[in-house]
Structure 1
Amino acid sequence: MMPRPAPNAPARRTLAAAAALVLGLLGAPAAADEPAPASASDPVAIPAPAPAPIPDPEYPPPVVVEEPPPPSPQSVPYRPVNVGFLYPMSTNLGAPDVFTHLDIALMLGRIGYLGGLQIGPVGWVGYDMRGAQIGLAHVVEGRAEGLQIDGIFSIARGDFAGAQVAGLMGWTSGRMTGVALAGMASYVYADVDGVLAGGLVSVARGKVRGLQIAGGTNIGRVDGLQLGIVNVSAEVRGVQIGLINVARRIKGVQVGVLNVTDKLEGESLGLVPIPRRGGVHPVIWGSNSIFANIGVKFASAYAYSILGIGLHNRPLPEGKRQAAFTAGLTLGARVPIAEGFALAGDLGGNRLFAEGVPLTTHDELYKARVLFSFEIAKRLVPFVGGGVAMAVQGSETLRFSILPEGTAGIEL
């Protein structure tokens, strides 16, 4: 049985036919305007290239100027001896790039190449030098091989091989091989193979393979020995000795009063070593020689130091007791013997301060201890130990007394 059509089905079909007719009439003009498809024989149209951008007159492109290479020693004028007063008042008038074996100037000498000796208060070599410069101030624009001795400053703008000695400042822009010594400041922009020394400051932008020494501050990466009052280095492979030593990474030994390092592969020996490995720990302990003590422990890989203060109540000859305050320093080393267990040994000295005892009088206590510790947690390490203590008292006549030392405490 066929389904019955909807009552409005003829009307829907009529509306759909009318809509199709209207759409066809509207689309016919657009279709007529479209070009006919191209055949295989028609030529292919190539689009024109885009126009080049117009440069901005306010921001012209940078002009790169390449410096011409320096002339060779064979291509410049040659004079065995050059003499002058103040260049250009000299025998190389009009020829500043002359090559000579001996240059003598009463004020200022200016030559191109030196293969011998340049003497005068101020001397200037425009290219390379092989020989010696002696005076107050000398400059070599190129490579220098030999000796520079000046009362004020010596400058080499290229590599230097030999010895550079200056009264105030020595400067090398290239690599230094040999010795660089200056009364005030020594500066090398590249690597140093040898000795770099300055009276106040010694700076190497590259690496020093050898010795870096200064009466004040050393700055540079060192493979060897860095010696000064203050030493600052990104990396040390060797030994760093000074009052204050700072190194980002050290593979060797630090020796000083204050040692700071981020990564220690070796040992830091100082009154206050502060490496990341080890760290700073409060310590509380007591003993029969000084009843109550509190201090700060600065620990490196194995060595440590303790700065502490204490309170003691010591007997007097009259049968009374006297309160005394103490301040002391302890230096020691710690060796792990099993998981969590460690054995340590240290030497310490304490100064006692008591009423009626002048500071000019000896009142010290020296200790030698052996300690045994167990690490319960990183910041909870109890320890016990013992040793011997020696008291020193008196002014003109010293009195010595020795007593056994027993101690126990906790490191936090």
Structure 2
Amino acid sequence: MSEASNPVVEGSLRERAARRLPSHTFSDLLVPVSSALDLAEGHAAGHAQRVTYIATSLGIALGLDAPTQLACNYAGLMHDIGVVPAGAGLGAYTRGDERMVFASLPLLSPEEAAVGASDSPEIVIERIVDHVIHGARTAREFGLPAETIKGISAHHEHWDGTGYPHGLKGEDIPILGRIICLADHIESMIDQAGPLLGRRNLPLWLNQLSGIEADPNLVSVLRDLASGDQFWLGLFSADLPGEISLGCSRLREPKGMRLLGFSESLSQLVDSRFSFTVGVSARVARYSEALGRAVSLPDLRLKQLRIAALLHDLGQVSVSERIMAKPGILSVEELEVLRNHPAYSRDVVAGIYGLEEVADWVAAHHERMDGRGYPDGRAGNEIPFEARILAVADAYVAMTSDRPHRPRADDADAQQRLRGAAGSQLDGDLVEIFLRQVVS
């Protein structure tokens, strides 16, 4: 009997598979995460995916080889990933929502964006330039290809040498940097004008960009591409995320991305926005996993729970610093904005293959046992068991962390507060297990 047909071996393989997370490609993860990055820079969701579509179309027309085309797709999806760390603390220097500084790029120069948003423009200019450097560094930490990193690093360089961060000129700018630069400009212009005016005005915009911001050869290629209906139908396709993923698959994109490692890196990036959130998601993950073990969750469930904990606050990138770091009581309107973050987190996580159920746990981590939580007002057993675990861990970490409006509680005080929340806010049985077996 061969090993493949041996029922003992087959059973062992099935058992091991049941303990494993699904295998992912870069695009499996980057396509949904790109929507969160759009929110972080004040764009409507879909900006990065449309930039990717334009960049992909240019790459195909240029005949890029498969590895370079994949790198181009990744650069389009992640071109502004550096906005999250570069924007940390920027709200102290801007007159409004600090994310709007980045949303105005690339249509404004750093100087124009800074003067319009701040009374301390030199600090804002420095952060704008830094977002490209941070982006390249973060892409490297995520393990993205070298060509992707070059493209991200150079996507604000201009053909005439007036761009940043290095003032590169002409063909000294890496090809993917030139492609993303043009795609980013054009998508931003179309987004501002709308599809109909965008199509009508595109030839004029291309003439204005050619030889200044953009490579004249790429401008010519894009002019030809955009002359047909197919380009515009693709740009505004309802299934653009799926089509980007399919395009990557056709390029024989390799699997093997470590979902846990990626989630850890992404959570560190999100938590880096504020000094009071650094390390918070990792602590929630540690306590959630410990509580999950205490209630005998199986191995795969524990891994999924850890991912849920790492990504539970991903949607907070949609909330401005003026709300997140406000030292006083939030207004009704500000609370409404903040309470949207679990739904945003859910939408991103749900886009990752194999995490559909995990997305529901993420969405429900601020629900309450008495039905007075958010975003859906679920109560009792309507709240997934794993979400109730997250809620206990998240509450304890929040209590024992400094916040702009209050200092942290010591362990004894936090444990007393948890007991007070048992049954109304939190699952009483889980609170008791947490206090006896996790933080005792």
TM range (shorter): under 0.3
State TM-score, norm by structure 2.
0.19
Which of structures 1 and 2 has the larger relative contact order (alpha carbons within 8 angstroms, sep 6+)? 2
Between Structure 1 and Structure 2, the one with more helix by share is: 2
State TM-score, norm by structure 1.
0.20
Between Structure 1 and Structure 2, the one with more strand by share is: 1
Q: Which has the larger radius of gyration?
A: 1
